[in-house]
Amino acid sequence: MQELLVSLNKRRIIAIYIVILFASLALVFSYNFQITAPSYFDEKYNIIFANGLILYKLIELIIIYYLLFYRYLIRFKRNTYVKEHFVKLKKHTKLFFFLVPQGNTIFGIIAYKLSGSVLYFLLFSFIALVTLILVNPNTIQKNSNSQNLN
């Protein structure tokens, strides 16, 4: 269990650094290049689409957090955790720490292109950063103190 937590914490730290790197690159890119919003939609619709992407991403993060991480915490709290779930826990938490930066980066790029403002990309980066900071793999160990998993 301890090696899993160390691996997940490393993966989480790497994901945090990747999000910060992409946000920095977006700032450098916006400083050197000018992105204009597409003109095939009226500009107010572009902003509505970009804001819709933010709402969608917030809902999606809650869903993938529950499906890939929180349900295992529930099993630990209820002491219904079995050894077979350990492999799924490992796979799903690694997937979670991959999907958060990847999904927010893609949505940030789309919102940046729709709005023409780097602030949308930075907002998606901030959402990913907060999510990665709040989801701490060490809570697995705190909830499994009564169980002996190796």
- Within a domain: 17: yes
Q: Count up the domains in the chain and report the number.
A: 1
Cα–Cα distance measured from residue 10 to residue 4, given in angstroms and rounded to the nearest whole number: 10
How far apart, in whole angstroms, are the C-alpha atoms of residue 140 and residue 69?
9
Work out whether the CA dihedral 121, 126, 132, 134 comes out positive or negative.
negative
Residues recorded for the chain = 150
Alpha-carbon distance of 48 to 16, in angstroms, equals: 28
Residue 150 has pLDDT above 50, yes or no: no
Do the domain assignments include residue 81? yes
- Tell me the whole-structure pTM to 2 decimals: 0.86
Q: Do the beta carbons of residue 120 and residue 26 sit within 8 Å?
A: no
Containing structural domain, residue 15: 2-34+55-143
Name which residue leads in pLDDT, 13 or 137: 13
The residue-averaged pLDDT of 72-97 equals 80
> Looking at the domain assignment, is residue 149 inside a domain?
no
Domain-embedded: residue 19? yes
Band (pLDDT 50/70/90 cuts) for residue 7 is: confident
Q: Is residue 78 part of a domain?
A: yes
